[in-house]
Structure 1
Amino acid sequence: MSNDLLNAACPVCAHSIAARFFPAGEHSLATLAWPSSAKAARELPRHPQDFVQCPSCSHVWNHRFRYDAIPYESNPNRMFNSGGIWKGHLALTRDLLLNHLPAAPNVVEIGCGEGHFVRGLAQVRDAGRFIGFDPNASPETGHGVEFYARLFEPLSDMATFAPHAVVIRHVLEHLKEPARLIEQLAWGAASQTHACLLFAEVPCIDRVFETGRLADFFYEHVSHFTTESFRALMSRAGEIITLAHGYDGEVVYALVRLEVPAQARARAQAAASFAARSAISRETIAQQLSSLARSGKRVAIWGGTGKAAAFIHQFGADAGRFPLVVDSDQQKAGTFVPGTGQKIEYRDVLKTAAVDVVVIPTQWRARDIVAEMSREGISAGAVLIEHDGSLIDFASETHPY
Structure 2
Amino acid sequence: MTSATSKLICPACRAGRVRIFYEALSAPVNSVRLVSSREEAVGFPTGDVRLGFCHECGFIYNTAFERRLVEYSSRCEESQGFSPFFRAWHEDLAQRLIDRHSLYGKKIIEIGCGKGEFLALLCGLGGNEGIGFDPAYVPERITRQAASRIKFLPEFYGEKDSELNTDFLCCKMTLEHIADTADFAEMVHRSLRKSPDARVFFQVPNVCRVLEEEAFWDIYYEHCSYFSPGSLARLFGKVGFDVLTVGREYRDQYLTIEARVGNGTPCPFAAEDDVASLETLVKTFASRVPRQIAQWRKRLEGYRAKGVKTVVWGAGSKGVTFLSTLNVTGAVEFVVDINPNMSGHYLAKSGTEIVGPSFLRDYRPDVVIVMNPVYQKEIVGDLARYGLSPEVISTS
TM-score relative to the length of structure 2 = 0.61
Corresponding residue of 1:168: 171
Q: Deviations over 1:316-359 (max 9, x none)?
A: xxxxxxxxxxxxxxxxxxxxxxxxxxxxxxxxxxxxxxxxxxxx
Match of 1:249 in 2: 252
Matches within 5 A, 1:61-140: 61-99=61-99, 100-126=101-127, 128-138=128-138, 139-140=140-141
Local SS of the residue matching 1:252: strand
Deviations 1:185-239 (A, max 9, x none): 22222233x5111110001011223222211111111111122211122223411
What is aligned with 1:269?
none
Corresponding residue number in structure 1 for 2:35: 35
Deviation, structure 1 residue 85: 3.8
Residues 2 and 50 of structure 1, relative CA distance in 2, 3 Å threshold: closer
Q: Is 1:61–1:224's contact at 8 Å kept on the other side of the alignment?
A: yes
Contact 2:2 2:21 in 1 (8 A): no
Contact 2:28 2:47 in 1 (8 A): yes
Cα gap change, 1:88 to 1:21, in 2 (>3 Å): farther
Of all paired residues, the percent bearing the same amino acid is 21
Change (3 A) 1:242 1:261: closer
Which position in structure 1 is the counterpart of 2:48? 48
Helix, strand or coil: the match of 2:94?
A: helix
Q: Give CA-to-partner distance per residue, 1:6-31, whole Å, 9 cap, x none.
A: 52122221122311121111222351
Equivalent pair of 2:2/2:19 in contact (CA under 8 Å): no
Which amino acid in 2 is paired with 1:79? S
Among residues 158, 163, 181, which one is paired with 2:162 in the alignment? 158
Structure 2: which amino acid aligns with 1:39? E
- Quick one: distance in 1 between partners of 2:170 and 2:78? 17
**Counterpart Cα distance in 1 of 2:34 and 2:208:** 29
Moved over 6 A (4+): none
Distance 1:257 1:118, change over 3 A: same
Which residue of structure 2 aligns with residue 205 of structure 1? 207
Query: TM-score by structure 1 length?
Result: 0.60
Where in structure 1 are there 5+ consecutive unaligned residues?
263-401
1:17–1:55 CA contact under 8 A, matched in 2: yes
> What does residue range 325-340 of structure 1 map to in structure 2 within 5 Å?
none
- Which residue is equivalent to 1:21? 21
C-alpha separation between the residues in 2 aligned to 1:116 and 1:102? 17
Q: What is the alpha-carbon distance in structure 2 between the residues aligned to residue 237 and residue 165 of structure 1?
A: 16
- Alignment partner of 1:238 is 2:241: yes
- Look at both structures and tell me which one has the larger radius of gyration over its CA atoms: 1
Deviation of 1:45 (Å) = 2.0
Secondary structure at 2:32's aligned position in 1?
coil
Counterpart contact for 1:141–1:147, Cα < 8 Å: no
State whether residues 107 and 165 of structure 1, in contact with CA within 8 Å, keep that contact through their aligned partners in structure 2. Answer: yes
Residue equivalent to 1:146? 151
Matched pairs, number = 258
Distance 2:234 2:93 in 1: 21
Q: Distance in 1 between matches of 2:75 and 2:18?
A: 32
Q: Retained in 1: the 8 A contact 2:115–2:136?
A: no
User: Secondary structure at 1:190's aligned position in 2?
Assistant: coil
Partner Cα separation in structure 1 for residue 202 and residue 27 of structure 2: 29
- Structure-2 separation of matches of 1:33 and 1:102: 34
- Equivalent residues of 1:6, 1:19 under 8 A apart: no
C-alpha distance in structure 2 between counterparts of 1:101 and 1:237, whole Å: 23
CA contact (8 A) 2:119 2:130 kept: yes
Preserved contact between residue 202 and residue 225 of structure 1 (Cα < 8 Å): yes
Pick one of 218, 221, 243 that aligns with 2:220: 218
Partner amino acid for 1:70? V
Change beyond 3 A, Cα 1:75–1:178:
farther
With 253-262 and 182-191 compared, the bigger mean Cα shift is at 253-262
Partner residue in 1 for 2:185: 182
Cα distance in 1 for residues equivalent to 2:117 and 2:2: 47
Question: What's the RMSD between the two structures over aligned residues?
Answer: 2.3
1:190/1:259 contact within 8 Å kept: no
1:106 counterpart letter in structure 2: K
- Secondary structure in 1 matching 2:122: helix
SS across alignment from 2:211:
helix
The change in CA–CA distance for 1:19 and 1:141 in structure 2 (over 3 A counts) is farther
Who is 2:4 aligned against? 4
Aligned-pair CA distance for 1:79: 2.7
Amino acid at match of 1:157: D
- Per the TM alignment, residue 149 of structure 1 is displaced from its structure 2 partner at its CA by 1.6
The worse-fitting range, judged by mean Cα deviation, of 168-177 and 227-236 is 227-236
SS state of the match for residue 64, structure 1? coil
